[in-house]
Structure 1
């Protein structure tokens, strides 16, 4: 953060968004691995 805020935990919406992004990233990575395995074994 560029500005200094008293509490160092982000607002709930931001935390939820980060959570969703992390989950989506994990799902995407998993899907990529599965696709590579499927394409490799074909």
Structure 2
């Protein structure tokens, strides 16, 4: 079941990261954003 959808666009600083760093940043952001679902 889908609980929530989210979207985050990259800013100018994020565009300087490599693809691996950008994917890691997306994971960290998603964990922080959805922590109330993950750690409940």
Q: TM-score, normalised by structure 1?
A: 0.46
Greater gyration radius: 1
Q: TM-score, normalised by structure 2?
A: 0.48
Relative contact order (C-alpha < 8 Å, sep 6+): which is higher?
Answer: 2
Q: Which has the higher helix share?
A: 1
